[in-house]
Amino acid sequence: MSTATEPRNPRVHVWLWIVQGLLAAVFLFTGGSKLATPIHVLAEQSHLSGAFMKFIGVCEVLGALGLVLPGVTHIRPGLTPLAAALLVIIMIGATVSTAIMLPSLLALPVVVLLLTAFVAYGRWRLAPLDGTARKLTSDHSLGA
C-alpha cells in the first residue's frame, strides 16, 4: 500500500524520470540553439519569422527546466505536468511544420511529441511528483 510520499508505481516513476531527463536535454539543446542563432538565420531556415523562432526557443528552454527542476528541488512539483503539457503544444506545431517542410524527418518530432505526452499524463495521473496520486475511476471500484 502506498503512502502519500511515494508513487503508486515505482517503475513508472523511474521511467518518467528517465524520459524527463532525455526530453530536458533535447529541449535545452533545441531551445538553446534557437537562442544562439541570429534572428535572420532562423528566418531563412524556417517558414516562420525569426522572432517567433526565438520565442519558441525561450519556451523550449523554460519547458526543459520545468520538466526537471520542480522534482529535483521539491518546489511546486505540480509544474512538471504543466510544463510537459505546454511542450506538447509546441511539439504539435513542430510536427505539423515538419510534415510541411521535411516530411522525411517526421518520425523525430512525433516520437518527441509522444514522449512529452507520456510525461504530461504520467506526472499528472500515474506517478505525480508530490506523491498524491490522482484518483482514477477504477480506484473507486476497488474501494480505495
pLDDT, tens digit, for every residue of 5-45? 555 678 999 999 999 999 999 999 999 999 999 999 999 99
User: CA 106, CA 129: separation in Å to the nearest integer?
Assistant: 31
Instruction: Determine contact, residues 102/61, Cβ cutoff 8 Å.
Output: no
Residue spans per domain, the chain: 10-129
80 SS3 class: helix
pTM listed for this prediction: 0.83
pLDDT, tens digit, for every residue of 69-89? 999 999 999 999 999 999 999
